[in-house]
Structure 1
Amino acid sequence: MDSNKLIESFAEFARSKNIDKPTVIRILEDVFRSIILSRFGYSDNFDIIINLDKGDLQIWRFREIVEDHAPDVAVPTKIALREARKIEADFEVGEELSEEIKITDFGRRTVLAAKQTLIQKVQELAKETLYEKYKQLIGCLIVAEVHQLLSREIILLDDESNELFLPKAEQIPKDYFKKGAYVRAIVHKVELYNTLPRVILSRASPLFLERLLENEIPEIQDGLIAVKKIVREPGSRAKVAVESFDDRVDPVGACVGIKGTRIHGVTKELQHENIDIINYTDNLELYIARSLSPACINRVVQMSERIAVYLDSDQVALAIGKGGQNIKLASKLIGKEIDVYRDNAADPKEEDIPLSAFSETIGPWVVEALHKIGLDSARSVLSLPKEVLEQRVDLEKETVDEIYAILHQVLSG
């Protein structure tokens, strides 16, 4: 293989990997200087000239001409007069001999090994470049094209044809993709998998919702409104706490927009996820009340690890939400577990019985388990839907059914 074909083929390969010209030239110089060093034992007196546009490679060797029996005649940068005159008859001592080294002089095997080394170096550099690029983009919103649909993940391509991965767990449950479609997601993390960089995207992360809000709401972009916290059940419901730094700007109204125009684009991207925008406050009781919207609470009792919230009977179901979703998201937003109780003080006729009275009937270990999640009376248990109690306490469905039957029977008798 001659030098022109080698340089052209390598330059084309480097371009396919989006490696810039200066980097390609540096790699070529490093590889050929290594070959020179291996062949001649010294490389400082060699010039390597590369023209990628023309596919040219020139290697020049420079040596000083010395007397045949000079003490330093064996130095790599010197050449004996007798040897120099074999190249050109009128050379004299003290002159510099420059000679071009052809790539074919290194032998076919060395050239093929050089080509393989060049390709390997470009591949390593491309992997490193990809890793560093996306490491800096973690948390950023990007758009990529769906390339392949697999059972556990979707492979997408960026604008440089790099493969990106959207795992099933990072998709919104209602997401449906077609090959060739363009998808918005955030860069979730970058992993090294068998030395290969693996870029993981996410549409289920709270950050994805935050980036969408930043795109849709100018006040967030301008820093007038800050997103304090986001909690999500992807594709189903989310709660977003926002705060305004300008008294003239209503953060909730600005985020929702007139007739919901601003939030509509976000909910559509999230497969119509129901988004509650909440005005953040340092007043914990008020913050809890807002987080449990649409329920109206009567009072809040703060404990070290948990928070007890008391509501009228008709508000309990609203506070808990379908499948316990509302209270679960509110707890995440506040950062503490919230327990919901019927407020007997609001209805003194409504009798209640401590759970301790049922120790022999439903078992002391069951009573203890219920106490651990803040339930201390019969009506506090009955205020929760059965499915919520099953989720919060490690009890069988049959046990929960039995507990509810016993408590109902005692309170109604």
Structure 2
Amino acid sequence: MGKEMLNALDTLEQEKGIAKEIVIDALEAALVSAYKRNYGQAQNVEVEFDMKKGNMHVYSVKEVVDVVFDSRLEVSMEEALDINKAYELGDTIRFEVTPKDFGRIAAQTAKQVIMQRVREAERNIIYNEFITYENDIMQGIVERQDHRYIYVNLGKIEAVLSKQEQIPNEVYKPHDRIKVYVTKVENTSKGPQIFVSRSHPDLLKRLFEQEVPEIYDGIVEIKSVAREAGDRAKIAVMSRDENIDPVGTCVGPKGQRVQAIVSELKGENMDIVEWSADPATFIANALNPAQVVNVTFNEKEGSCVVVVPDYQLSLAIGKRGQNARLAAKLTGFKIDIKSESDMEASLEALEETGLERTEDYAESLEETMSAEEAIDVENVIESIEDQEDLESDLRIDDDVEEGNLDSEEAEEMIELAEDENHVEE
């Protein structure tokens, strides 16, 4: 077994990259367990591998003591001195106890240990290779599917594509070539596990990086992505070079670049808009193709009211609210869309509400005050009206003093006002 073992270790190191020392350490530990299991020995044993000949030796380790209580673990001082005069109390002595048929057990154990180490090494190699692809895009081949996953062959390993990560209504057939986004790589007890997605928003980023060299080079940057997989997506882009149009660059000549991505995603519509540092401009761009008249912000709530022409209200909201929903995801604002006529009606209603505030205030006083403090609402309103009449009289007196009215005209105006009040009563 000696030469065969050494050859196997050399081959393992060259082909699998597993160091001899790692395998030998694991083998020695496994042989200790195998010895105790097969020979029923509870003593302290060590296994030593001969690197030159490839043989295994088993040693029983005993401690030097004055009085021996357990011969399997201890040796007397007298016996120790017979072996070597240099031994002292507390020293350990190794006695070789290698069984005659231990070679067969060693061979079986070595085979198991080597196979286990090979599997672990291959798993680590695969994990270290694919962990670099996490949050990146890969091309795979659909192998099979069950009620939980679609299994995609990435070369050395199968990745799993769950139902939540699939594009709705997309049909996957065996041998189909698809591009997937690697969301997570885990090193489990059963080996590396790779999770991929077709619906992740970052899949669009990676696809645009592949199709648009300016994005890959960093000249054009994707600022944000909003996506409803399989239906529609919005991408906000900006250019670091004033001479390069970011939207036109992503669309490509005759739309070739964006069309390649649409084809890969089975017809998913793409809206590419220009990002702006001004939130109002960015929101207006995000609601493309609708035109925006005005944007009003509520900074505390992180929301805004967007006014659009009446005939473009449905276009701004989109089918099932999709355009507004994607624009909100893209910009990070809660967006309330109103038509111009609705906005005018709201403002008029607000003004009317303001004119009725006097009576509303008096009624609220009556509701909030206790019975002992209750006041006559009509008296409150009358006092307010009397105050208004007094202010009117004072204004007339001021006009007389300034010479705008003479005394006769002033008296006539006061009498006219009083007559009007009598008529109302």
Q: What interval of TM-score do these two structures reach, taking the shorter chain for normalisation?
A: 0.5 to 0.7
**1:303-314 mapped onto 2 (5 Å cutoff):** 303=298, 304-305=300-301, 306-314=303-311
- Structure 2: how far apart are the matches of 1:183 and 1:27? 40
- Structure 1: how far apart are the matches of 2:19 and 2:174? 34
Residue in 2 aligned with 1:403?
A: none
The CA deviation at 1:328 is: 0.4
CA offsets, 1:5-27, max 9 Å, x none?
77889999x79xxx953316344
Q: In the alignment, is residue 157 of structure 1 matched against residue 153 of structure 2?
A: yes
- Which of 315, 323, 326 pairs up with 1:326? 323
The CA deviation at 1:150 is: 1.8
The CA deviation at 1:157 is: 1.9
Residue in 2 aligned with 1:224?
A: 219
- Tell me the secondary structure at the aligned position of residue 23 of structure 1: coil
CA offsets, 1:303-327, max 9 Å, x none?
1322111111111101111111110
Query: In structure 1, what residue type is equivalent to 2:203?
Result: F
Q: In the alignment, is residue 279 of structure 1 matched against residue 274 of structure 2?
A: yes
Mark the CA change 1:43 to 1:107 in structure 2 (over 3 Å): closer, same or farther: closer
**Structure with greater Cα Rg:** 2
TM-score by length of 1: 0.65
TM-score by length of 2: 0.64
- Structure 2: how far apart are the matches of 1:11 and 1:166? 40
Q: In the alignment, is residue 118 of structure 1 matched against residue 114 of structure 2?
A: yes
Mark the CA change 1:59 to 1:8 in structure 2 (over 3 Å): closer, same or farther: closer
- 2:304–2:336 Cα contact (<8 Å) kept: yes
- Structure 1: how far apart are the matches of 2:10 and 2:83? 46
The CA deviation at 1:183 is: 1.9
- Which of 104, 129, 136 pairs up with 1:133? 129
- Which of 190, 208, 215 pairs up with 1:213? 208
Instruction: Give the RMSD, CA atoms, in angstroms.
Output: 3.9
- Which of 32, 47, 51 pairs up with 1:48? 51
The CA deviation at 1:277 is: 0.8
Residue in 1 aligned with 2:265?
A: 270
Q: Structure 1 or 2: larger helix share? A: 2
The CA deviation at 1:195 is: 5.5
The CA deviation at 1:41 is: 4.5
- Structure 1: how far apart are the matches of 2:206 and 2:224? 13
What percentage of residue pairs aligned between the two structures are identical? 31
Q: In the alignment, is residue 146 of structure 1 matched against residue 142 of structure 2?
A: yes
- Tell me the secondary structure at the aligned position of residue 29 of structure 2: helix
CA offsets, 1:102-151, max 9 Å, x none?
9x853433432332233333333434444443333211111122221223
- Structure 1: how far apart are the matches of 2:10 and 2:322? 57
- Structure 2: how far apart are the matches of 1:150 and 1:297? 48
Count residues with an aligned counterpart. 316
- 1:143–1:184 Cα contact (<8 Å) kept: yes
CA offsets, 1:385-406, max 9 Å, x none?
xxxxxxxxxxxxxxxxxxxxxx
- 1:242–1:278 Cα contact (<8 Å) kept: yes
Q: Which structure 1 residue ranges, 5 or more long, are not aligned?
A: 50-56, 62-67, 80-100, 358-413
- Structure 2: how far apart are the matches of 1:142 and 1:347? 53
- Tell me the secondary structure at the aligned position of residue 17 of structure 2: helix
The CA deviation at 1:300 is: 0.8
CA offsets, 1:24-71, max 9 Å, x none?
634432233435777795567x5426xxxxxxx82488xxxxxx9543
The CA deviation at 1:259 is: 1.2
- Tell me the secondary structure at the aligned position of residue 118 of structure 1: helix
Query: In structure 1, what residue type is equivalent to 2:109?
Result: A
Query: In structure 2, what residue type is equivalent to 1:157?
Result: N
Query: In structure 2, what residue type is equivalent to 1:312?
Result: P
CA offsets, 1:280-338, max 9 Å, x none?
11011110100001111111110132211111111110111111111000000110211
The CA deviation at 1:272 is: 1.2
- Which of 85, 97, 106 pairs up with 1:71? 85
- Tell me the secondary structure at the aligned position of residue 293 of structure 1: coil
Residue in 1 aligned with 2:178?
A: 183
- Structure 2: how far apart are the matches of 1:41 and 1:345? 90
- 2:226–2:235 Cα contact (<8 Å) kept: yes
- Tell me the secondary structure at the aligned position of residue 133 of structure 2: coil
- Tell me the secondary structure at the aligned position of residue 267 of structure 2: coil
Residue in 2 aligned with 1:233?
A: 228
The CA deviation at 1:75 is: 7.9
Q: Which structure 2 residue ranges, 5 or more long, are not aligned?
A: 36-43, 58-81, 354-425
Residue in 2 aligned with 1:402?
A: none
- Tell me the secondary structure at the aligned position of residue 134 of structure 2: coil
- 2:293–2:307 Cα contact (<8 Å) kept: yes
